[in-house]
C-alpha cells in the first residue's frame, strides 16, 4: 500500500476519535512563509520528499499562484502526525496573505478551531498580521505563534544573540497586545502566547527547522546552538535535530483545541439560535449521531464533479444519499459524494464523515460560501463578516456575442465561489459589472473567466466604487403613489456613528429583525433614541428604516413592500446610482387607500423609493469614496520623496515610526488615486520601498470634487449629466 493510501486509511479511522483531531489554519501577512511552513508539515506526514519541503509549495497548485509566487485560494489538506506513539488527524488550511484575498481567510476561519500565526522575524507584526489575528479572535479561533525566517536575522542583519532575543520579545509582546485588544474578554489573558509554555516557536520554514522552549529542554538544544548553526551554514544538521514539522505540530496538538472542546465555545458565538434545542446541543457536543448540520466555507466548480463545497461538519455524520436543506435559499438537495482533501486539487472519496471534521462535498447545487446545510430546518449560522468591501469595478463583455450565456454562467459561478465579488448589470448599457477588493483581485477574476471558464472577454479600465450618504437632516417629504391614492411622509438623516459601526462590525446583524426589545437596548447603548429603536423596521446596507407613525391603519399589510422599496432605494442612490451607506430613513405618516387593490406593489414601491431619494437630496447629499491604509517601509533618506508622492495622491500621513535606519510611514489614501502607485513609488525611491495596503472604509469625498465625480459617474452610466433635484422624484 502506498503512503497516500495508508494515510487515507488512517484518516478515515481517526476522524471518529474526536479528541485526536485538530482543525487548524496557517494565517499571516503576505510572504511571511505560510505555504513554505505547510510544505514542511506535508513532508512530516510523508507526502513530500525532504529535499522538496519548503520549495515545492504544494498548496500553491493553481497556475497563477505558481506564476506570481503568492497564495490566492485557501487550500485544504488532511495530515497524520504521530505524537508520543499516538496518531493525530490534522485538518489543515493554508490561507492567502494578500489583502485582496482576505475573504478566503475569513471563510477558512469559520471551519477551523485554532490557527498558527506566522510572523517574519525581520519584518515583525505587519498590517495583515493584525487583520487576520483580529478575524481569528472574533471567531473564537485560538492562536499560537511561529516566528519564521530566524536565519535572516542572523545571516542578513547580522544581529547578536541578545538583539535576536530582544526582537523576539518585541514581536511576542505585540501579538499579546493584539490578543488583549481583540479577543473576547474571557480569553484575553488565557490565550496569551508564551515562550515558556510552548505556544511560541521559532525557526526557518525554508530550511526545515524549528525550536520551542519545551523542545529545547527535552533535547538540550540551546539558542547558542541555533545561532551557531545559522552562522556556520549548518541548518541542514539543525533540521535533523529539530524538524520544523515536529516542533510546530507538537505546539498544535498541545495547545490548540480538539473539536469537542472548541465547539462548546464556538457554537454560541457563531450560531444565534435557541441553545436549548436538540440541534444546538448536538452541535455544542459535536454529536456525530445527531442530525447533520454543516456550514459551507468554500465552493469550487470542478469540471468533472460539478460544484464541490468545503464545509465544517458541526453535528451528525454526512454520507452519500443524505437529504439536506440549504437553509438560506430554502432548497432541498441530496449529498452525492463526501470526502477529504489531500491537497488543493486532490480529493479522496469516503463513505462518511462525522462531526468535527472538514469535508469536501459534491451535490450541493446552487449553494454558496456561507450557507448553512442541515437535515432539519434550523436557524442559519451567523453571516460571515468580511473586513473589506469591493472597491474597484470593471465592465466585462464576451468578445463573441454567442458566448453571452457562457459569460453569465461563469459570473454566477464566480459569485458563488467568492462572496467578496459583486456582480451586477448596468441596465442602461447592458454591461456586466464585476467588483472586487483591488486591482490584483480583478486581474485574477479575469483570468478565471477567460482560462478556467473558457470565455473570451473584453474588460474596461478599472472604475472606483463610490457610496452615497447624507450629512444633514431633510425636511419632511410628501411622496405620492402613481395613482395618487397613497401618500408617504418621510425624512432622512445620518445614522448615528455608534450604530453604524456596530452594524459594520457584525455586532448588530442585518436582515430579518428578531427580538426587537433586546435589539432596541443594544441600539440605545450605541447612541440611538430608545423610542425610535423600538420601532425599527429594517437594517440594510448599514442603513436603517424606522416606523415613526402612530397607529397607522393598513401599515402592517404593506410593511413588506415598504421594506422592499427601502432596500431598492439604498441599492441605487439618487446622486449617481451608487449604493447608500449610513442613512436613517423615518416614515412619519402615510395616507393609504382602504382598498388593498389600490395599494399594491406598483403603487407603494415607486412612491416610497422616490420619497427616500427626494429626502436624501434635501439632506446635504454626499458621495463617499473608498480609502486604503498605506504602509510604506523605506530608508530614511527617501522620506521626502515618499511623503510628496502620498500627499500628491490626496493622502494623509497618519504616523511615522523609525527603527534603526528604516522609516515606516502610515497614511490613508483614496483608492481612486492609487492607480499607478507601484511605478510611482519605485521611481521615487529607486526601488527601495516595501509597501502594503489595508482596506480603510469609506469617507466623504471633498466637496470641491463631488460635482465633477458625480457628473462623470452619471455620464458613464448613461444618466443625465445634470445634478439631480428633489423635484425629479416627486410627482
- 379 Cβ contact partners less than 8 Å away, ≥ 6 residues apart: 271, 272, 273, 274, 327
Q: Which residue has the higher pLDDT, 264 or 222?
A: 264
CATH superfamily of 3-257: P-loop containing nucleotide triphosphate hydrolases (3.40.50.300)
Nearest to 312 by CA among 58, 511, 74, 5: 74
What is the dotted CATH code of the domain comprising 469-619?
3.30.230.10
Q: What is the pLDDT of residue 1?
A: 39
Grid coordinates standing for 602? 406598483
Name the band, by pLDDT with cuts 50, 70 and 90, for residue 60.
very low
Grid coordinates standing for 211? 525550536
Q: What is the pLDDT of residue 490?
A: 94
DSSP string, 686-706: TT--EEEEEEEEEEEPPHHHH
CA distances from 638 to 124, 157, 231, 688 (A): 22, 21, 32, 9
Question: Torsions phi, psi of 317, nearest 5?
Answer: -130, 120
Grid coordinates standing for 511? 436582515
The angle formed by the CA atoms of residues 81, 85 and 90, to the nearest 5 degrees, is 20
Name the band, by pLDDT with cuts 50, 70 and 90, for residue 334.
confident
| DSSP letter, residue 345 | S
Report the length, in residues, of the chain.
731
Asked if 180 and 191 count as a contact pair (C-beta separation under 8 A), the reply is: no
Residue 297 in this model has a pLDDT that exceeds 90:
no
The domain limits of the chain are 3-257, 262-374, 392-448, 469-619, 625-700
Grid coordinates standing for 578? 451608487
Residue 69 in this model has a pLDDT that exceeds 70:
no
Average pLDDT for the chain: 86
Q: What is the pLDDT of residue 395?
A: 86
Beta strands in 184-281 (DSSP E): 200-204, 209-211
pLDDT digit string, tens, across residues 3-53: 677 777 888 788 888 999 999 999 988 788 888 888 888 877 766 555 555
Q: Please report the sign of the dihedral spanned by the C-alpha atoms of residue 306, residue 310, residue 315, residue 317.
A: positive
Q: Averaged over 64-73, what is the pLDDT?
A: 58
Grid coordinates standing for 167? 526582537
Q: Averaged over 659-683, what is the pLDDT?
A: 83
Most confident residue range from 208-217, 227-236, 338-347? 208-217
Q: What is the pLDDT of residue 431?
A: 72
Residue 73 in this model has a pLDDT that exceeds 70:
no
Residue 148 in this model has a pLDDT that exceeds 90:
yes
| DSSP letter, residue 346 | -
Rounded to whole angstroms, the Cα distance separating 144 from 250 reads 11
CATH class of 262-374: mainly beta
Name the band, by pLDDT with cuts 50, 70 and 90, for residue 668.
very high
- Do 262-374 and 469-619 have matching folds? no
Q: What is the pLDDT of residue 565?
A: 93
Asked if 232 and 247 count as a contact pair (C-beta separation under 8 A), the reply is: no
Rounded to whole angstroms, the Cα distance separating 666 from 183 reads 25
Q: What is the pLDDT of residue 6?
A: 78
Grid coordinates standing for 250? 507538537
- Residue 639 burial class via C-beta count within 10 angstroms: exposed 0-12, middle 13-18, buried 19 and up: middle
pLDDT digit string, tens, across residues 716-726: 888 888 889 99
Nearest to 356 by CA among 274, 417, 287, 300: 287
pLDDT digit string, tens, across residues 238-280: 888 889 889 999 999 999 999 999 999 999 988 888 899 999 9
DSSP string, 557-617: HHHHHHHHHHHHHHHS-TTTSPPB-SEEEEEEEEE--SSGGGGSHHHHHHHHHHHHHHHHH
Rounded to whole angstroms, the Cα distance separating 274 from 536 reads 23
Q: How many CB atoms lie within 10 A of CB 135?
A: 23
Q: Are strands 142-148 and 200-204 parallel, antiparallel or unpaired?
A: parallel
CATH class of 392-448: alpha beta
Asked if 593 and 650 count as a contact pair (C-beta separation under 8 A), the reply is: no
Rounded to whole angstroms, the Cα distance separating 152 from 539 reads 50
| Secondary structure string (H, E, C) spanning 439-478 | HHHHHHHHHHHHHHCCCCEEECCCEECCEEEECCCCCCEE
623 by DSSP, 3-state: which? strand
The pTM (predicted TM-score) of the whole model is 0.79
Q: Was domain 625-700 assigned CATH 3.30.70.240?
A: yes
Nearest to 95 by CA among 127, 118, 79: 118
| DSSP letter, residue 511 | B
Match 473589506 to its residue by C-alpha cell.
388
Rounded to whole angstroms, the Cα distance separating 652 from 80 reads 50
Rounded to whole angstroms, the Cα distance separating 129 from 117 reads 8
Q: What is the pLDDT of residue 546?
A: 92
Q: What is the pLDDT of residue 68?
A: 54
Rounded to whole angstroms, the Cα distance separating 277 from 376 reads 12
Rounded to whole angstroms, the Cα distance separating 582 from 524 reads 17
Amino acid at each position: 500500500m502506498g503512503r497516500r493510501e495508508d494515510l487515507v486509511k488512517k484518516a478515515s479511522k481517526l476522524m471518529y476519535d474526536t479528541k485526536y483531531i485538530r482543525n487548524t489554519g496557517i494565517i499571516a501577512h503576505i510572504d511571511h512563509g505560510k505555504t513554505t511552513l505547510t510544505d514542511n508539515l506535508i513532508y512530516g506526514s510523508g507526502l513530500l520528499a525532504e529535499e522538496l519541503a519548503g520549495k515545492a509549495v504544494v498548496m500553491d497548485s493553481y497556475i497563477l499562484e505558481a506564476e506570481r509566487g503568492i497564495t490566492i485560494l485557501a487550500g485544504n489538506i488532511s495530515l497524520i502526525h504521530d505524537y508520543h506513539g499516538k496518531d493525530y488527524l490534522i485538518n489543515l488550511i493554508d490561507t492567502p496573505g494578500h489583502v485582496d484575498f482576505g475573504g478566503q481567510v475569513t471563510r477558512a476561519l469559520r471551519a477551523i478551531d485554532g490557527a498558527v500565526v506566522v510572523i517574519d522575524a525581520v519584518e515583525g507584526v505587519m498590517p495583515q498580521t493584525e487583520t487576520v489575528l483580529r478575524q481569528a479572535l472574533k471567531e473564537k479561533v485560538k492562536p499560537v505563534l511561529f516566528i519564521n525566517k530566524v536565519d535572516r536575522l542572523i545571516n542578513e542583519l547580522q544581529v547578536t544573540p541578545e538583539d535576536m532575543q530582544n526582537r523576539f520579545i518585541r514581536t511576542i509582546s505585540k501579538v499579546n497586545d493584539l490578543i488583549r485588544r481583540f479577543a473576547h474578554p474571557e480569553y484575553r489573558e488565557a490565550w496569551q502566547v508564551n515562550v515558556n509554555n510552548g505556544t511560541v516557536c521559532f525557526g526557518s520554514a525554508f530550511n526545515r527547522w524549528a525550536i520551542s522552549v519545551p523542545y529545547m529542554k527535552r533535547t538540550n538544544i540551546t539558542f547558542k546552538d541555533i545561532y551557531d548553526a545559522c552562522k556556520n551554514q549548518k541548518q541542514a544538521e539543525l533540521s535533523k535535530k529539530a524538524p520544523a514539522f515536529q516542533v510546530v505540530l507538537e505546539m498544535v496538538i498541545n495547545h490548540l483545541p480538539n473539536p469537542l472542546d472548541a465547539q462548546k465555545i464556538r457554537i454560541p458565538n457563531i450560531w444565534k439560535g435557541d441553545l436549548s434545542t436538540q440541534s444546538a446541543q448536538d452541535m455544542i457536543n459535536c454529536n456525530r449521531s445527531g442530525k447533520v448540520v454543516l456550514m459551507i466555507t468554500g465552493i469550487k466548480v470542478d469540471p468533472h464533479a460539478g460544484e464541490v463545497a468545503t464545509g465544517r461538519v458541526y453535528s451528525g455524520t454526512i454520507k452519500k444519499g443524505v437529504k439536506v436543506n440549504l437553509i438560506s435559499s430554502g432548497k432541498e438537495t441530496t449529498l452525492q459524494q463526501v470526502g477529504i482533501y489531500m491537497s488543493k486539487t486532490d480529493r479522496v472519496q469516503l463513505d462518511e464523515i462525522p462531526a468535527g471534521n472538514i469535508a469536501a462535498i459534491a451535490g450541493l447545487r446552487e449553494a454558496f460560501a456561507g450557507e448553512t446545510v442541515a437535515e432539519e430546518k434550523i436557524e442559519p449560522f451567523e453571516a460571515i463578516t468580511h473586513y473589506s468591501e469591493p472597491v474597484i469595478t470593471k465592465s466585462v463583455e464576451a468578445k463573441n456575442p454567442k458566448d453571452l450565456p457562457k459569460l453569465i454562467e461563469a459570473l454566477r459561478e464566480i459569485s458563488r465561489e467568492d462572496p467578496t465579488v459583486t456582480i451586477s448589470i448596468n441596465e442602461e448599457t447592458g454591461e456586466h459589472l464585476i467588483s472586487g477588493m483591488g486591482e490584483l483581485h480583478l486581474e485574477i477574476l479575469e483570468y478565471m473567466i477567460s482560462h478556467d471558464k473558457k470565455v473570451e472577454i473584453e474588460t474596461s479600465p478599472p472604475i472606483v466604487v463610490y457610496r452615497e450618504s447624507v450629512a444633514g437632516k431633510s425636511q419632511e417629504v410628501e411622496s405620492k403613489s402613481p395613482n395618487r391614492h397613497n401618500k408617504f411622509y418621510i425624512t432622512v438623516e445620518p445614522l448615528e456613528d455608534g450604530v453604524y459601526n456596530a452594524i459594520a462590525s457584525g455586532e448588530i446583524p442585518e436582515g430579518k429583525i428578531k427580538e426587537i426589545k433586546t435589539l432596541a437596548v443594544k441600539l440605545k447603548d450605541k447612541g440611538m433614541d430608545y423610542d425610535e429603536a423600538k420601532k425599527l423596521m429594517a437594517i440594510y446596507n448599514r442603513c436603517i428604516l424606522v416606523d415613526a407613525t402612530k397607529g397607522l391603519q393598513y401599515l402592517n399589510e404593506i410593511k413588506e413592500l415598504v421594506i422592499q422599496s427601502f432596500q431598492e432605494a439604498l441599492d441605487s442612490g439618487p446622486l449617481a446610482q451608487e449604493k447608500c451607506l449610513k442613512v436613517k430613513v423615518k416614515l412619519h405618516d402615510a395616507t393609504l387607500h382602504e382598498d388593498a387593490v389600490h395599494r399594491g406593489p406598483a403603487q407603494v414601491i415607486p412612491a416610497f423609493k422616490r420619497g427616500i431619494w427626494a429626502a436624501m437630496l434635501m439632506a446635504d447629499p454626499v458621495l463617499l469614496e473608498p480609502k486604503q491604509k498605506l504602509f510604506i517601509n523605506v530608508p530614511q533618506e527617501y522620506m521626502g520623496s515618499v511623503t510628496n508622492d502620498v500627499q500628491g495622491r490626496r493622502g494623509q500621513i497618519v504616523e511615522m515610526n523609525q527603527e534603526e535606519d528604516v522609516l515606516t510611514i502610515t497614511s490613508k489614501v483614496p483608492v481612486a488615486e492609487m492607480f499607478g502607485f507601484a511605478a510611482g513609488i519605485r521611481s521615487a525611491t529607486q526601488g527601495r520601498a516595501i509597501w502594503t495596503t489595508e482596506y480603510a472604509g469609506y469617507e466623504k469625498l471633498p466637496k470641491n470634487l463631488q460635482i465633477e465625480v458625480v457628473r462623470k459617474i452619471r455620464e458613464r452610466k448613461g444618466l443625465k449629466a445634470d445634478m439631480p433635484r428633489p423635484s425629479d422624484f416627486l410627482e
